[in-house]
Structure 1
Amino acid sequence: MDVFPDFDGMRGIGNLQSVAGALLMFALIIAVLMLIVCAIVWAIAAGTGNYQIATKSRNGVLVALGAAVLAGAGVTWLNWLIDLGSRL
């Protein structure tokens, strides 16, 4: 008795890849824009001596940087998983 996976069970894998890629690209663009905004606010706040806002902006830069890294890595990971699934 031979058991093989059903390769026709996932017909919409191309649609899944394009939708997930578009959503992760949107998240990456938002993260990079927030990184730029927080960096500008951090520089202005530090220059004017408002260290409370500078600290919050620095935290925003770190969070936006982490989100950008995760969104970029998410695209790579999703493509790897889809490629791995198609080779099974």
Structure 2
Amino acid sequence: MKLIEHARNLAYNPGVTPKQGGLPGLDVLKNVMGSLNLFGIIAAVGALVISVAIWAWGHHSGGHQAEANGKKGTAIAAGCALLMGAANGIVAFCSAMGTQVH
């Protein structure tokens, strides 16, 4: 009996879909998110420059730990920039895939 109730609850469709302009302040929120994304990308550029400098300094000075940390920082900063630049596409893709679930 509980299994049937559980299946019935899973099949329930609340009928909620994203709606453009449903709440006031949507344009402000988009501007704030865009500005935060820009600041994040600028911070990733700074982190990338610093990490590459540490990588080069560690390589030329024989500091293996500094070289390894510079490599890690470079990969992390590049990955963060990639994800922040692709944020709209990732969210749009996942949202579109979510609409396919029935």
TM-score by length of 1: 0.74
1:33 maps to 2:25: no
- Aligned match of 1:42 in 37, 55, 63? 55
The aligned residue for residue 11 of structure 2 is: none
For 2:53 and 2:46, the matched residues in 1 are separated by: 11
What is the identity percentage for the equivalent residue pairs of Structure 1 and Structure 2?
A: 29
The aligned residue for residue 77 of structure 1 is: 89
For 1:56 and 1:28, the matched residues in 2 are separated by: 21
Q: CA deviation at 1:10?
A: 2.2
Structure 2 spans left out of the alignment, 5+ residues: 1-16, 97-102
Query: Greater CA radius of gyration, 1 or 2?
Result: 2
The aligned residue for residue 3 of structure 2 is: none
Q: Which amino acid counterpart does residue 37 of structure 1 have in structure 2?
A: I
Q: CA deviation at 1:71?
A: 1.1
Which runs of structure 2 are paired with 1:1-88 in the superposition (5 Å)? 8-74=21-87, 76-77=88-89
* Structure 1 residues 14 and 77, CA gap change in structure 2 (3 angstroms): farther
Q: Contact 1:38/1:57 (CA < 8 Å) preserved in 2?
A: yes
Runs of 4+ in 1 over 2 A off after TM superposition: 5-11, 76-81
C-alpha RMSD of matched pairs (Å): 2.6
**Structure number with higher relative contact order (C-alpha < 8 Å, ≥ 6 residues apart):** 1
Q: Secondary structure at the match of 1:41?
A: helix
Q: In the comparison of the two structures, how many residue pairs are matched?
A: 78
